[in-house]
Amino acid sequence: MAGEMTILGSSVLALLLAGYLAQQYLPPPKPKVIGVDLGTTYCSVGVFLPGSGRVLVIADKAGRKSLPSVVSFTGREVLAGYAAQELADVNPLNTIYDAKRFIGKLYTPEELRNESSRYQFKVLYNEGRAEFSVPANETWRITPEFVGSRLLLELKRMAEEQLGIPVSKAVISVPADFDERQRNYTVRAAKMAGLDVLRVINEPTAAAMAYGLHKAEVFNVLVVDLGGGTLDVSLLIKQGGMFLTRAMAGNNQLGGQDFNQRLLQFLFERVHERHGVLPSHQQDIHRLRQAEE
């Protein structure tokens, strides 16, 4: 009997030791949920690594950790990200950007005219909603959430290549001032890309958590988010490790793109001063825009 107990005890010890060694030396489980920042001008995707507790922002094959929020239609294919950005100046009517400004929003015809006057592509009014007219080969009417879905598909593909497993679940951040409709249409874009959204989180809250402030001895946090298309300022209060938005302010017409546009205007003026003409060839404008960036 004593011998049997000794053998049983040795077996249990061996199993415990095997489990310990497996935890120490076997690779950690693959992340199954991606986090997505679907920005106005750039977007990115990351994962939480269970083994190390770190967050990995996923890069593309060129090592770039952000993707331009641009989608271009050529008649043969739909391009997203850097490939689409390259066509922005040579294929302007079929290249859509800033779709996040329009997603889920309701407009009067006059409001939409004012909002869309800055763009070369055509924005149509459809019962209060914005749609994009894409004349590649035949005229298509494209919704903002479809544009978002193409970007999410590209981010999903990047994550799957990096992780080596299929990805179907996501957490997506949105501006704090997005209403329920805008959030729902963002979720709709994710579903079109084959993603199940587990949670929609406010961007200021995501920023505060990224800095570890949910664990720090702070109670009030002011988050200033100067993005590519908007400026958002949010006052957060911490309650039980969670952040609640106390107050918000901002300007949805002020961001990095607006700075770029002013710089481009300055370059146009300098070219005119030196050479007496304004740049008009699309290739020249494209080169100026790249130099400015």
> Shortest CA distance to 55 belongs to which of 239, 207, 235, 216?
207
* Annotated active-site residue in 37, 98, 115, 145: 37
Token pair belonging to 40: 């106005």
* Alpha-carbon span 180 to 227, nearest angstrom: 21
Catalytic-residue membership of 100: yes
Catalytic-residue membership of 284: no
In the chain the first and final C-alpha atoms are separated, in Å, by: 79
Q: In a 10 Å sphere around its CB, with 0-12 CB exposed, 13-18 middle and 19+ buried, how is residue 39 labelled? A: buried
Token pair belonging to 8: 């049983």
* Annotated active-site residue in 100, 105, 156, 238: 100
For residue 37, what is the enclosing H or E element?
strand 33-38
Rounded to 5 degrees, φ, ψ at 35 are: -105, 130
Beta-bridge partners for 97? 70
Interhelix angle 256-275/282-292, nearest 10 degrees? 120
Catalytic-residue membership of 145: no
* Annotated active-site residue in 98, 225, 232, 238: 225
Q: Three-class SS of residue 273?
A: helix
**Contact status, residue 246 vs residue 219, Cβ threshold 8 Å:** no
Catalytic-residue membership of 225: yes
Q: Catalytic positions, please?
A: 37, 100, 203, 225
